[in-house]
Structure 1
Amino acid sequence: RHIARMLGQQKQDALMPLAALILAALASKAGPGAAIGVFMGGQGLAIQRQIYFTREAEREADGVGFQITAAAGFDTSGMVAFFQRLQAATKVYSDLTPPSLMSHPLTSERIADIQARIRETPYRQRIDGIEFHLVRARARVLQDDSTQGRLDARSAFESQLTLQSRQQQAAAQYGLALLALKNRALSDASAWLAKARATMKPVAGAVFSTGQSASDGAAMFASMALDIALAPGQSPALAAPTLKQAEQSYQQFPLSRGITRQYAQAMIASGMLDAASVFLREQVQLYREEPKLHELLAETYAAQGKLTLQHIALAESYVIKGAVSAAVDQLAIARKAPDASFYDLALIDARERELLTRQREEKKEKKEK
Structure 2
Amino acid sequence: MNATQFPRRLVALAAALLIAAPVTPAQTALAPAHVPNLPSLGDTSREALSPITERKLGEEIMRDIRFDHDYLDDPPIIEYLNALGNTLVTARPGARGEANYDYFFFCVRDPMLNAFALPGGFIGVHSGLLLAAQTESELASVLSHEIGHVAQRHIARQLGEQKTDALIPLAAMILAALAAKNNPDAAMGVMMGGQGVAIQRQLNFGRDAEREADRIGFQIMGAAGYETNGMVAFFQRLQSATRNYSDLVPAYLQSHPLTTERIADIQARIREQPYRQRVDALDFFLVRARARVLQDTSSKGLAETEEFLRNQLEQPSRHQIASAQYGMAILALKRRDYAGAQTWLDKAAATIHRPPAAGAFSSPLPKGIADSVLAYTSLEIKVDQEDKPAIIAQAIREGEAAHAKFPLSRGIVWQYADALIKGGKPEQAERFLRDQLQMYRSEPELQDLLAQAYSKMGKIALQHIALAESYALLGGTQAALDQLELARKSRDASFYEQAVIDAREREWQAKRREAMGEKGKDKGAGFAVTGSVKATTVQEEQEPVDPSCRGMLANSPRCADGRFGTPRATPWSQAPAAGTTPRR
Q: What range is the shorter-chain TM-score in?
A: 0.7 to 0.9
Secondary structure of 2:491's match?
coil
Partner residue of 2:258? Answer: 109
Q: Hey, what's the Cα distance between the residues in 2 that align with 1:200 and 1:113?
A: 39
Partner residue of 1:178? Answer: 330
| Deviations 1:171-228, CA, capped at 9 Å, x for gaps | 111110111111111111111111111111232447759xx86669322112111111
Matched, 1:56 2:208: yes
- Structure 1 stretch 82-91 or stretch 219-228: which is displaced more? 82-91
The one of 504, 515, 525 equivalent to 1:351 is 504
The one of 198, 206, 225 equivalent to 2:350 is 198
Alpha-carbon contact 1:66-1:114 (below 8 Å) kept: no
The one of 419, 426, 446 equivalent to 1:293 is 446
Matched, 1:324 2:473: no
| Deviations 1:98-127, CA, capped at 9 Å, x for gaps | xxxx7xx93253565145314531442121
Change (3 A) 1:92 1:194: closer
Matched, 1:270 2:431: no
- Structure 1 stretch 333-342 or stretch 129-138: which is displaced more? 333-342
In the TM superposition, residue 89 of structure 1 has moved relative to its aligned partner by 5.7
- Structure 1 stretch 73-82 or stretch 299-308: which is displaced more? 73-82
In the TM superposition, residue 242 of structure 1 has moved relative to its aligned partner by 2.3
Partner residue of 1:257? Answer: 410
Matched, 1:333 2:482: no
Partner residue of 2:300? Answer: 148
| Deviations 1:65-119, CA, capped at 9 Å, x for gaps | 343334334442445545665676675454x44xxxx7xx932535651453145
Q: Hey, what's the Cα distance between the residues in 2 that align with 1:47 and 1:160?
A: 44
In the TM superposition, residue 260 of structure 1 has moved relative to its aligned partner by 1.6
Alpha-carbon contact 1:59-1:110 (below 8 Å) kept: no
Partner residue of 2:374? Answer: 221
In the TM superposition, residue 141 of structure 1 has moved relative to its aligned partner by 1.2
Paired letter, 1:4: S
Q: How does 1:158-173 map to 2 (within 5 A)?
A: 158-173=310-325
| Deviations 1:3-25, CA, capped at 9 Å, x for gaps | 43456x99xx9xxxxxxxxxxxx
Change (3 A) 1:207 1:362: same
Q: Hey, what's the Cα distance between the residues in 2 that align with 1:55 and 1:216?
A: 37
Q: Hey, what's the Cα distance between the residues in 2 that align with 1:53 and 1:107?
A: 11
Paired letter, 1:244: R
Paired letter, 2:443: E
The one of 435, 449, 456 equivalent to 1:303 is 456
In the TM superposition, residue 229 of structure 1 has moved relative to its aligned partner by 1.2
Paired letter, 2:291: A
Change (3 A) 1:246 1:111: farther
In the TM superposition, residue 236 of structure 1 has moved relative to its aligned partner by 1.5
Paired letter, 2:491: P
Partner residue of 1:19? Answer: none
Alpha-carbon contact 1:308-1:339 (below 8 Å) kept: yes
Q: How does 1:85-124 map to 2 (within 5 A)?
A: 91-94=247-250, 96-97=251-252, 106-110=255-259, 112-114=261-263, 116-121=265-270, 122=273, 123-124=275-276
- Structure 1 stretch 130-139 or stretch 199-208: which is displaced more? 199-208
In the TM superposition, residue 337 of structure 1 has moved relative to its aligned partner by 2.1
In the TM superposition, residue 277 of structure 1 has moved relative to its aligned partner by 0.1
Q: Hey, what's the Cα distance between the residues in 1 that align with 2:199 and 2:370?
A: 53
CA RMSD of aligned residues (A): 3.2
Secondary structure of 2:353's match?
coil
In the TM superposition, residue 365 of structure 1 has moved relative to its aligned partner by 2.6
The one of 281, 286, 301 equivalent to 1:129 is 281
In the TM superposition, residue 170 of structure 1 has moved relative to its aligned partner by 0.6
Secondary structure of 1:151's match?
helix
Q: Hey, what's the Cα distance between the residues in 2 that align with 1:83 and 1:160?
A: 26
In the TM superposition, residue 163 of structure 1 has moved relative to its aligned partner by 1.1
Secondary structure of 2:407's match?
coil
In the TM superposition, residue 54 of structure 1 has moved relative to its aligned partner by 6.1
Higher helix share: 1
Q: How does 1:9-48 map to 2 (within 5 A)?
A: none
Alpha-carbon contact 2:325-2:344 (below 8 Å) kept: yes
In the TM superposition, residue 329 of structure 1 has moved relative to its aligned partner by 2.0
Paired letter, 2:224: A
Q: Hey, what's the Cα distance between the residues in 2 that align with 1:200 and 1:216?
A: 12
Change (3 A) 1:3 1:322: farther
In the TM superposition, residue 47 of structure 1 has moved relative to its aligned partner by 9.7
In the TM superposition, residue 333 of structure 1 has moved relative to its aligned partner by 2.0
Partner residue of 2:291? Answer: 139
Aligned-pair identity in percent equals 42
Change (3 A) 1:365 1:79: farther
Alpha-carbon contact 1:331-1:348 (below 8 Å) kept: yes
In the TM superposition, residue 158 of structure 1 has moved relative to its aligned partner by 0.8
Partner residue of 1:39? Answer: none
Which entry has the higher C-alpha Rg, 1 or 2? 1
Q: How does 1:53-92 map to 2 (within 5 A)?
A: 56-74=208-226, 75-76=230-231, 77-78=233-234, 81=237, 91-92=247-248
Alpha-carbon contact 1:2-1:57 (below 8 Å) kept: no
Secondary structure of 1:162's match?
coil
In structure 1, stretches of 5+ residues that fail to align are 14-45
Secondary structure of 2:324's match?
helix
Secondary structure of 2:397's match?
helix
Secondary structure of 1:244's match?
helix
Change (3 A) 1:315 1:91: farther
Change (3 A) 1:352 1:167: same
Change (3 A) 1:195 1:54: closer
Matched, 1:281 2:434: yes
Change (3 A) 1:368 1:79: farther
Q: Hey, what's the Cα distance between the residues in 1 that align with 2:503 and 2:403?
A: 35
Secondary structure of 1:232's match?
coil
Change (3 A) 1:80 1:283: farther
Secondary structure of 1:107's match?
coil
Alpha-carbon contact 2:386-2:422 (below 8 Å) kept: no
